[in-house]
Amino acid sequence: MSIWPSIKTITSDVASRKSSARDMVEKSLQIIEEHGEFKAIISLTKERALKRAEEIDARIAVGENVGRLAGVPFIAKDNFLVFGAETTAASNILRGFNAPYQSSAIERLEAEGAICVAKANLDAFAHGSSTENSDYMTTKNPHDAERVPGGSSGGSAAAVALSMAPFSLGTDTGGSIRLPASFCGVVGLKPTYGLVSRSGVVAMASSTDVIGPIASTVEDAALVLECMAGKDELDGTTIERDSQDYSDLKPVDLTGIKFGIVKEFFGSGVDESVRGSIDQAVNQIKSAGGEIVEVSIPSIDLALAVYYILCPAEVSSNLSRYDGQRYGHSDRDAVNLEESYAKSRSVGFGNEAKRRIMIGAYVLSSGYYDAYYQRAQLVRTKLINEFNKALESCDVLVGPTAPVQAFKIGENIADPLAMYLIDIMTVSANLVGIPAISIPVKSNNSLPVGLQLMVQQKQDKMLLEVAKKVEEVAA
Ligand code: GLN
């Protein structure tokens, strides 16, 4: 349970001067300090945050309307370019990199009065599912400090679960918002591909990278989306908004809504504890009037393989810009440029980044391109067609967010394949580009379980409305 009231309450209290932006920022910084042992935070943007809070309070004092997030502190994953702190993406190669500009998502939130107070830990370059691939530290799960928070936005999810701020930002390339939200017991929204600008966010795999909020409630996540969504001339893949107001969630009656239970998500790899909670949630949806049908999307069984070909291919291309000359770490002992590239990269990149660069370069190389990259693209198209068909026969697809609950730190680290398997339920939404959300549902033990809902592209508003109702009946 978050100690923060809803974001709407915070902004109305700040706007009516019942509290101040400065109080909110100080409270957030204090909670961050109190929970330092969870290692959720890489750096603070304290000075800038306090200065912004004072400016906001001063504007309110003269009667100005500051915006829909006036005085709300938040935490950004450390792959967002934010003024006032380094942007490291939790990698050694970007250590010391100060962004010369700020990401569009942060700009938009700031324009509404929100205040970034800190940068959260992640798997380096967002490659991972546990934050154990961070070059700096492993974040601990707030529900059990011996376990991982999920990844790659593990610091962002743990921060919200620990009430360090009312919301945080994450990125989701193959599940990195939803998986940690599920492991930490908070709400994680991956919007439709292109709905939120990626400008100023360290690129992982550009054809699936998406930005979204992590919050305590669906309502709060919706308000954050509302303040970020829409076309941005700095990101050519952004799309027009399809809703006037994503946060104006109308109450929905589940009667008449068809929930498609995705058969492939209930196979043998799913833990009993997860299965039990999800079954229970589905029963509650049914009791509240929802129509439950079973759907099959056979290519889901191939989605993980497709993702782990296409993603490293894009990663190997995106990481080529870190050559030790333009950003962050640069080897000073090299005798020529070639050696400088090699030495800067071999020291600056961790094992997982190197693994992905090698796999990516391999699947793109001549002689293997047709067998791997091109075939994976064909299966991706098949997957998109199957999802579209399934979403014609029902309104919302339902399943667990992950096959397991938070696992022990170290449990999967020596086995990359076991780690990749954790993403089996999240990667499809990225490959297809549809919006998906993870919401906490009743768990039968002390660790959280996330329920995943997915809808057609550009139905983000409907997804949020349904999720809000499901949150009411199944949490
Ligand atoms: N766990 C997935 C991976 O390692 C997803 C990462 C992400 O969404 N950033 O690729």
pLDDT values of the chain reduced to their tens digit, one per residue, 475 residues: 899 999 999 999 999 999 999 999 999 999 999 999 999 999 999 999 999 999 999 999 999 999 999 999 999 999 999 998 999 999 999 999 998 999 999 999 999 999 999 999 999 999 999 999 999 999 999 999 999 999 999 999 999 999 999 999 999 999 999 999 999 999 999 999 999 999 999 999 999 999 999 999 999 999 999 999 999 999 999 999 999 999 999 999 999 999 999 999 998 889 999 999 999 999 999 999 999 999 999 999 999 999 999 999 999 999 999 999 988 889 989 999 999 999 999 999 999 999 999 999 999 999 999 999 999 999 999 999 999 999 999 999 999 999 999 999 999 999 999 999 999 999 999 999 999 999 999 999 999 999 999 999 999 999 999 999 999 999 8
The DSSP-derived string for 67-96 is -TTTT-EEEEETTB--TTSB--TT-STTTT
Separation of 422 CA from ligand 1 center, angstroms? 10
Q: Model pTM?
A: 0.98
Identify the pLDDT of residue 268. Answer: 83
Distance of alpha carbon 474 from alpha carbon 135, whole angstroms: 37
Distance of alpha carbon 406 from alpha carbon 451, whole angstroms: 14
Ligand 1 pocket residues where CB is under 6 Å:
126-129, 152, 171-176, 204, 311, 423
Distance of alpha carbon 236 from alpha carbon 206, whole angstroms: 11
Residue with CA closest to ligand 1 atom 5: 174
User: Hey, what domains does the chain have and what are their CATH numbers?
Assistant: 7-228 (3.90.1300.10)
Identify the pLDDT of residue 155. Answer: 98
Separation of 315 CA from ligand 1 center, angstroms? 11
Distance of alpha carbon 456 from alpha carbon 242, whole angstroms: 12
Identify the pLDDT of residue 328. Answer: 83
Q: Are 24 and 14 in contact (CB under 8 A)?
A: yes
Atom number in ligand 1 closest to CA 352:
4
Atom number in ligand 1 closest to CA 430:
8
Identify the pLDDT of residue 195. Answer: 98
Residue with CA closest to ligand 1 atom 4: 128
Separation of 451 CA from ligand 1 center, angstroms? 18
Identify the pLDDT of residue 282. Answer: 98
Q: Which residues are catalytic?
A: 77, 152, 176
pLDDT digits (tens, 9 = 90+) for 78-108: 999 999 899 999 999 999 999 899 999 999 9
Separation of 85 CA from ligand 1 center, angstroms? 24
Atom number in ligand 1 closest to CA 205:
9
Distance of alpha carbon 295 from alpha carbon 441, whole angstroms: 22
